[in-house]
Amino acid sequence: MRRLSNQITDISNTIREAFEGALDLILPFRCLICGSAADTEERFDNYGRVYKAVFGKESELHICGKCLSAINISDEDLRWFLCLSNPVENDPCPGLPLFMPFPYKGILEKAIPGIKFGKKIELARMLGIILGSCVRNEGILGDLIVPIPLSEARLEERGFNQAYEIAYPVAKLNSIPVADGLLIRVKDTKRQSQITDTGKRARNVKGAFSVSKDWDVTGLRVIVIDDVATTGATLHEAAKVLYKAGAAKVLCVAFAGNRVVRNAEPF
């Protein structure tokens, strides 16, 4: 009787495996960026190992080889910039450096909005792991990593903060603590992507942040991270309050941007 039971179990397992294999053929994994059949498992094995080391679980990322190969780092002379694209007089943090290793064009113009508005958290984590490697290779050092926060309403709408999901693996891969909650968004601003004028962007985020009373940044080197920097107004506003709170040095980091002229030196 036990032998018959084992045979039935074996047959059941065989049928289930065959069914799952058939589903894989009928419904292959789809690339999170372009929607085509993804081959991440074959092309991106090392990513899976790094992901598990960072997050303690298996990755659910699926991305096709075409999209993966289209994420190209900028030339070495186009990775460091002044944070503000248009420097202003009487800047409270003049010369604020911005490390931004990828151009915001091509596939990234589709991928990054997909993170925010398509709720593709795995894509944000992939960018974070890539950025973490860039930060390490650049030799960037800091005492704390701080993601740009969302307002409570925006966080509830999206379900996660893309800046945090990018910042967390950067912190883990560089052995730097991530200080989520250090910066507080005290003003629910209009989306910067909806504003084209540089001055209006700066006014939109003015007074948007404060430093939590639970944190002391006095004398620390703080790295502030966001997904994209266009005019740099958001990162600059965050840096202002960190300096006011006593930070010794602030460095801004964004995964991508659209600058074309290097005008800052490495941190």
pLDDT greater at residue 195 or residue 232:
232
Decide if 167 contacts 176 (C-beta within 8 A).
Answer: no
Q: pLDDT band at residue 22, thresholds of 50, 70 and 90? A: very low
Tokens 């009487």 belong to: 90
**Rounded-to-integer distance, Cα 93 and Cα 95, Å:** 7
DSSP state for residue 201 in the 8-state scheme: H
Q: What's the confidence (pLDDT) of residue 17?
A: 53
**Rounded-to-integer distance, Cα 178 and Cα 81, Å:** 23
Res 20 pLDDT > 50 = no
pLDDT digits (tens, 9 = 90+) for 65-100: 888 889 999 988 889 999 988 877 888 888 899 999
Tokens 């994420």 belong to: 71
Tokens 């049928």 belong to: 15
Q: Start-end ranges of CATH 3.40.50 in the chain?
A: 74-257
Q: pLDDT band at residue 4, thresholds of 50, 70 and 90? A: very low
Quick one: 39 exposed, middle or buried, by C-beta within 10 A (0-12, 13-18, 19+)? middle
> To which H or E segment does residue 150 belong?
none
Instruction: Compute φ and ψ for 162, nearest 5 degrees.
Output: -60, -35
**Rounded-to-integer distance, Cα 99 and Cα 134, Å:** 10
What proportion of the chain, given as a percentage, has pLDDT over 70? 80
Res 13 pLDDT > 80 = no
Please give the sequence-ordered ranges of beta strands (E in DSSP) within 107-237, or none if there are none: 144-147, 183-185, 209-211, 221-229
pLDDT digits (tens, 9 = 90+) for 164-216: 999 999 999 999 999 999 999 987 766 666 566 676 777 777 878 999 999 99
Across residues 243-256, what is the average pLDDT?
96
Q: What's the confidence (pLDDT) of residue 247?
A: 97
3 state DSSP class of 93:
coil
Give me the CATH code for the 74-257 domain, please. Answer: 3.40.50
